[in-house]
Amino acid sequence: MRVLLCKAHFENDEWELVDSTLQNAKIFLLRHKSKAYQLQIYKNFFKLLHSIIHSKQTKTDIAKLNILISETHPAAEKAWLMEKVREIEK
Protein backbone atom coordinates (compact mmCIF):
# COMPACT_ATOMS: atom_id res chain seq x y z
CA MET A 1 0.00 0.00 0.00
CA ARG A 2 2.81 2.42 0.87
CA VAL A 3 4.56 1.62 -2.40
CA LEU A 4 1.39 2.49 -4.30
CA LEU A 5 1.08 5.77 -2.38
CA CYS A 6 4.68 6.67 -3.20
CA LYS A 7 4.13 5.90 -6.87
CA ALA A 8 0.91 7.95 -7.00
CA HIS A 9 2.53 10.97 -5.35
CA PHE A 10 5.56 10.64 -7.62
CA GLU A 11 3.42 10.53 -10.76
CA ASN A 12 1.59 13.69 -9.62
CA ASP A 13 4.87 15.52 -8.88
CA GLU A 14 3.96 15.83 -5.20
CA TRP A 15 7.54 15.67 -3.94
CA GLU A 16 6.86 16.62 -0.33
CA LEU A 17 4.21 13.91 -0.08
CA VAL A 18 6.58 11.35 -1.60
CA ASP A 19 9.23 12.30 0.94
CA SER A 20 6.74 12.14 3.79
CA THR A 21 5.41 8.76 2.65
CA LEU A 22 8.98 7.43 2.36
CA GLN A 23 9.75 8.50 5.92
CA ASN A 24 6.52 6.97 7.24
CA ALA A 25 7.22 3.74 5.39
CA LYS A 26 10.73 3.50 6.83
CA ILE A 27 9.36 3.93 10.34
CA PHE A 28 6.67 1.33 9.66
CA LEU A 29 9.27 -1.17 8.43
CA LEU A 30 11.44 -0.59 11.49
CA ARG A 31 8.50 -1.32 13.77
CA HIS A 32 7.25 -4.41 11.89
CA LYS A 33 10.20 -6.69 11.23
CA SER A 34 8.15 -9.86 10.95
CA LYS A 35 9.26 -10.97 7.50
CA ALA A 36 12.90 -10.24 6.80
CA TYR A 37 12.74 -10.91 3.04
CA GLN A 38 9.76 -8.62 2.49
CA LEU A 39 11.40 -6.03 4.70
CA GLN A 40 14.47 -5.99 2.46
CA ILE A 41 12.42 -5.80 -0.76
CA TYR A 42 10.50 -2.72 0.37
CA LYS A 43 13.44 -1.13 2.15
CA ASN A 44 15.38 -1.28 -1.13
CA PHE A 45 12.47 0.21 -3.07
CA PHE A 46 12.20 3.15 -0.69
CA LYS A 47 15.98 3.67 -0.73
CA LEU A 48 16.06 3.69 -4.55
CA LEU A 49 13.08 6.03 -4.85
CA HIS A 50 14.72 8.38 -2.36
CA SER A 51 17.88 8.33 -4.50
CA ILE A 52 15.89 9.20 -7.61
CA ILE A 53 14.08 12.08 -5.94
CA HIS A 54 17.19 13.59 -4.41
CA SER A 55 19.51 13.15 -7.40
CA LYS A 56 20.86 16.20 -9.20
CA GLN A 57 19.66 14.64 -12.48
CA THR A 58 22.96 15.11 -14.28
CA LYS A 59 24.17 12.51 -16.79
CA THR A 60 26.57 11.03 -14.24
CA ASP A 61 23.85 10.85 -11.57
CA ILE A 62 21.49 9.16 -14.00
CA ALA A 63 24.17 6.62 -14.94
CA LYS A 64 24.80 5.93 -11.24
CA LEU A 65 21.07 5.51 -10.64
CA ASN A 66 20.80 3.01 -13.49
CA ILE A 67 23.67 0.98 -12.04
CA LEU A 68 22.32 1.24 -8.50
CA ILE A 69 18.85 0.04 -9.52
CA SER A 70 20.14 -2.82 -11.67
CA GLU A 71 22.52 -4.04 -8.96
CA THR A 72 20.09 -3.79 -6.04
CA HIS A 73 18.53 -7.15 -5.20
CA PRO A 74 15.81 -7.68 -4.12
CA ALA A 75 13.73 -4.59 -4.88
CA ALA A 76 10.04 -4.05 -5.47
CA GLU A 77 8.85 -2.35 -8.68
CA LYS A 78 12.29 -2.36 -10.30
CA ALA A 79 10.85 -1.88 -13.80
CA TRP A 80 8.88 1.17 -12.66
CA LEU A 81 11.99 2.68 -11.05
CA MET A 82 14.02 2.15 -14.24
CA GLU A 83 11.22 3.74 -16.28
CA LYS A 84 11.28 6.84 -14.06
CA VAL A 85 15.06 7.16 -14.46
CA ARG A 86 14.66 6.91 -18.25
CA GLU A 87 12.03 9.67 -18.11
CA ILE A 88 14.43 11.91 -16.19
CA GLU A 89 17.09 11.18 -18.80
CA LYS A 90 14.95 12.63 -21.61
Please state the φ and ψ torsions of residue 55, each to the nearest 5 degrees: -75, 160
Residue 6 has pLDDT above 90, yes or no: yes
Q: How confident is the model at residue 79, as a pLDDT?
A: 96
- Between 33 and 54, the more confident residue is 54
pTM, two decimal places: 0.87
Residue 49 has pLDDT above 80, yes or no: yes
Alpha carbon distance 85, 70 (integer Å): 12
Contact residues for 5 (Cβ-Cβ < 8 A; gap 6+): 21
